[in-house]
Structure 1
């Protein structure tokens, strides 16, 4: 019997629209608007200040998002926390978020700190601070690869990992990402975590789907990260900032659309009949 996932998109379209607006506006419109507006519209401003301001503003939005998410996970109610976890344990997605933030911050800080050492009109600096999205994709793909390898080897966890107790086999990266994002950012809470884990444990088709999605997203992220890196270091300086920061969104959107149709197809197979009222757990 298929375990139902207590999650419907019909009551969450407004919150999803708001969430994606917050995701897209800061890195694309505000970040790019500030950079190109100041770089070409205010030539009298110190170039280092122009390079610093957009990423500083983006950092403010990032900090707000982190505070909001950490507050949900550490509040007295365990509503959003991983199953049976202590109050300040956070979840796997949040720890991955922190790791990505550290790597990206190190990249931007080191790029800005070097100044125009090459006397190239800040050409190398602009290219370096155009790489955060590529760095993020390299990181996610590598973590996905590691999770797939450990899962294939059936390595058992020596300690609690998210909602899973010690002794459970490591699961593909998409499993942790979906569980945490839907439970916290999508508002699914503990009820969703329990149902999602039960669905994974009870359904071979569902497990295969999670594995396949992890493989596809891993490969896609590696390929596109390499492509993005090549473009950032070969295109004219004026184009690389927009390519580096805005380029990933349309391509990620295409992969997301494929994911939606693939998930629906797999869930139909799981039910051995028409997919009637099921809401895909990946559309958070």
Structure 2
């Protein structure tokens, strides 16, 4: 009798992790155009202006750097206000789940802070009659230091068991501290990538349902934030020891070289881990802890970077707790901290219904061929079908 019950339960378990309704394959052209413009604006423009105006004109050094600093970051400034508009506009479907209309996502908060730091750096460096060339060369290393320390600190606090002191994107205040890379991916794809709240909902479902996915993001965050801090320190040492022309050139170019190398390492690494995650779900292996709950040390199948995370409990005294006994993946959709049930536009996590290759716009939910049109996951309708807005939980409105 017991075996029949167990067979019935296992047959209802999902064979794959909850899908993410977003694909980069359909956006290759847009991504290529953006990064081409960004690199020209942030790498090519400062170096070309510096070398041509400094050595080929009779302009004062102060005026040269006034021109250089004024021309820096046009794409970033546009992106900043584009994101701000999308987050704050009435009826926005890009803002964090269950957040107030005035609440910015975690990435935009950091975007604002880092721009304030860079503004001070550029003003102080370019105002003197003889500009501080080395300080102006530290713009990109400063960004690397900032995001590296912020992201690493967030994950250290997570490992120490701290709760979120305020809403971090879609993670409500008082919930377990999310891994920083999860918040970054959620915000960038939802706003800049046009995934909207549908993507935020799907990513949160995946994050809470899959201990393997959470561990992979933790490891990847350590790789990027740790590498960012180390290489920013190396670049800083070069900037303040080499001749000024060389220092300026390296300060603006080496961060791009580092990011390119890290990206080339990351792509096959993540692809391999996502395959391993699917295999673990298909075999019901290594899914541990309480289903649909973000437990930091919930057991999961081995990842490609497991050695880093396995070493932490032996080093950090607060992480020496006994691991949570294994369990099974959730048999149904997670009730994500009071959010509405899974929208019909998001499929069950089965191979036939996976939407990973389906494009998704920011304003409308995806629709599988033959399905009835569905409302946005974060809106509700009255009896006449009229949109009555975004449901918000009083306990999560902060």
Q: Verify same fold: TM over 0.5.
A: yes
Task: Answer yes or no: is the 8 Å Cα contact 2:61–2:129 preserved in 1.
Answer: no
The answer as to 2:9 corresponding to 1:9 is: no
Task: Answer yes or no: is the 8 Å Cα contact 2:95–2:105 preserved in 1.
Answer: yes
Q: Matched residue pairs, number? A: 270
- Give the Cα separation in 1 of the matches to 2:65 and 2:48: 12
The answer as to 2:178 corresponding to 1:163 is: no
The answer as to 2:81 corresponding to 1:67 is: yes
Determine helix, strand or coil for the equivalent of 1:247: helix
How far off is 1:63 after superposition? 2.2
- Give the Cα separation in 1 of the matches to 2:106 and 2:22: 21
Query: What aligned pairs does 1:136-155 form with structure 2 within 5 A after superposition?
Result: 136-155=143-162
- The answer for unaligned runs of 5 or more in structure 1 is 117-121, 280-284
- Corresponding position of 1:131: 138
Determine helix, strand or coil for the equivalent of 1:87: coil
- Corresponding position of 1:230: 237
Runs of 4+ in 1 over 6 A off after TM superposition: none
Among 207, 213, 221, which residue is 1:214 paired with?
Answer: 221
- Give the Cα separation in 2 of the matches to 1:197 and 1:154: 19
TM norm structure 2: 0.65
How far off is 1:59 after superposition? 4.1
TM-superposition CA deviations, 1:200-228 (whole Å, max 9, x none): 10111101001001111121011100110
Kindly report the root-mean-square deviation, in angstroms, between the aligned alpha carbons of the 2 structures. Answer: 1.8
Task: Answer yes or no: is the 8 Å Cα contact 1:27–1:246 preserved in 2.
Answer: no
- Corresponding position of 1:119: none
How far off is 1:57 after superposition? 1.1
Determine helix, strand or coil for the equivalent of 2:90: coil
Determine helix, strand or coil for the equivalent of 1:243: helix
The answer as to 2:64 corresponding to 1:46 is: no
Among 249, 270, 278, which residue is 2:277 paired with?
Answer: 270
Which range moves more in the overlay, 20-29 or 198-207?
Answer: 20-29
- Give the Cα separation in 2 of the matches to 1:222 and 1:204: 27
How far off is 1:163 after superposition? 0.8
Task: Answer yes or no: is the 8 Å Cα contact 2:62–2:128 preserved in 1.
Answer: no
How far off is 1:15 after superposition? 1.3
Among 69, 79, 102, which residue is 2:93 paired with?
Answer: 79
- Corresponding position of 2:111: 97
The answer as to 2:122 corresponding to 1:115 is: no
Task: Answer yes or no: is the 8 Å Cα contact 2:137–2:248 preserved in 1.
Answer: yes
- Give the Cα separation in 2 of the matches to 1:242 and 1:186: 31
The answer as to 2:37 corresponding to 1:25 is: no
Task: Answer yes or no: is the 8 Å Cα contact 1:126–1:237 preserved in 2.
Answer: yes
Max radius of gyration: which structure? 2
TM-superposition CA deviations, 1:123-154 (whole Å, max 9, x none): xx111100011111111111012101110122
- Give the Cα separation in 2 of the matches to 1:73 and 1:98: 14
- Corresponding position of 2:181: 174
- The answer for unaligned runs of 5 or more in structure 2 is 1-13, 283-350, 358-398
How far off is 1:78 after superposition? 2.2
Task: Answer yes or no: is the 8 Å Cα contact 2:118–2:139 preserved in 1.
Answer: yes
TM-superposition CA deviations, 1:48-99 (whole Å, max 9, x none): 0101211111144432221111111112232211111122212110111111
TM-superposition CA deviations, 1:105-134 (whole Å, max 9, x none): 111211223433xxxxx5xx1111000111
How far off is 1:193 after superposition? 0.5
- Corresponding position of 1:194: 201
Task: Answer yes or no: is the 8 Å Cα contact 2:42–2:73 preserved in 1.
Answer: no
How far off is 1:20 after superposition? 0.8
